[in-house]
Structure formats: structure tokens, C-alpha cells
Amino acid sequence: MAALATAPRINYLTITDGVILLRPMSRDDVGVHVAGSDAKQARWLSGAASTPAATREWIQHSAECWADGGPTFNFGVVEVASGRLVGVVEANTEAERMDGVHDGEANIWYVIYPHARRRGYATRAVNLILPFLDERGFVPVIRAAPGNKRSKKVAKRAGFKRTGQVIALEPNGFTRLKIYHRGLG
């Protein structure tokens, strides 16, 4: 009888403050993520609405990153009281791929689905991911487009200060991004 190959163990992490819980996204999240995709998410993050195929590919890539120890770490944001996935927060440490992010920094992006917005979940998610980044030696950075007022408010509520701006090539073309750091500036 042939021995069964064992899958590599991946040390996934969950983090909670009792109101929300962060845990890696999984294939089970595809439908909820696609349903939570709206025009605001498309405008500020990807330039297009999420599709099931693209979301499955993104989640697969994310699982590979978890297994390899980076360079991206995504977390589903789960509302503890209901157990529902309400958004995503991700840290990307690939500085060379992001305008305005330097070696040793991790760009944090986040999205909360429309039904769960305006409850402070994005700020909580950012605050929960900070110790994770600190343990790995990364300085957190948030890049926000000038028109994305809610994202800028999240950065400020999470203790980030504006430290500069950069012209960046984003999915919708070139745009000016405000750069926020925590503990600097």
C-alpha cells in the first residue's frame, strides 16, 4: 500500500478583539466576497468588480503566500456575533511592486462589504493586523487616493499620520496616493 502524501502544514493565524476576528480567506469565502463586491470596492482597489474566477485565483495565491511565509497575508474580517464574513484586510510586503512603499514596509488595504460598513470594522481590522506586522519587522503603510475619504479616516482613526504622497500607476491609470505611516511623521 502506497503512503499517502501529506500536505504541508500551514500555520494559519486568527486574531480577534471579541468584536471581529481575522482569519485567512478560504475557498468557502468566494461567494460572499463576490456578493460583497460593489462599485466602491472596484473603484478604490481593483478597478473592476470581483468575479468568482478571479476571487478563486486570488484566494489560491493567498494560500500559497501563507504557505511560503509571504509576501502577502490576507485575512477575512469576520463579525464575531454573527460569524459572517464582512470584509478583507491584507498586508502586502512586496515594496518593489507598489509606488510609495519601501523595503521593510507593508502596505495595508481593506474593504468592508456594504451591509457591514460604518461600524468601525475597518479600523478594528487595521489595528488587529498591526501586531502581526510588528512581529515580522514590517512598518505599516496605508496608501489612499485623495477622493477616498473613508479610507483616510480609517488610517487616522488607527493612529496613522500622513507622511507624503506619490503618483502611482493603479488599475484605473495614474493617480495621486496619500501615504500614511504609523509611528512616523
Give the start-to-end residue ranges of the domains of the chain: 15-182
pLDDT of residue 38: 62
Distance CA 21, CA 85 (A): 9
Distance CA 48, CA 46 (A): 5
Residue 54's pLDDT band, with cuts at 50, 70 and 90, is confident
Mean pLDDT of 33-62: 73
Give the global pTM: 0.85
Mean pLDDT of 96-116: 92
Question: Would you say 181 and 141 are in contact if contact means Cβ atoms under 8 Å apart?
Answer: yes
Residue 10's pLDDT band, with cuts at 50, 70 and 90, is very low
Question: Which comes out higher in pLDDT, residue 34 or 139?
Answer: 139
Topology given in CATH for the domain delimited by 15-182: Aminopeptidase (3.40.630)
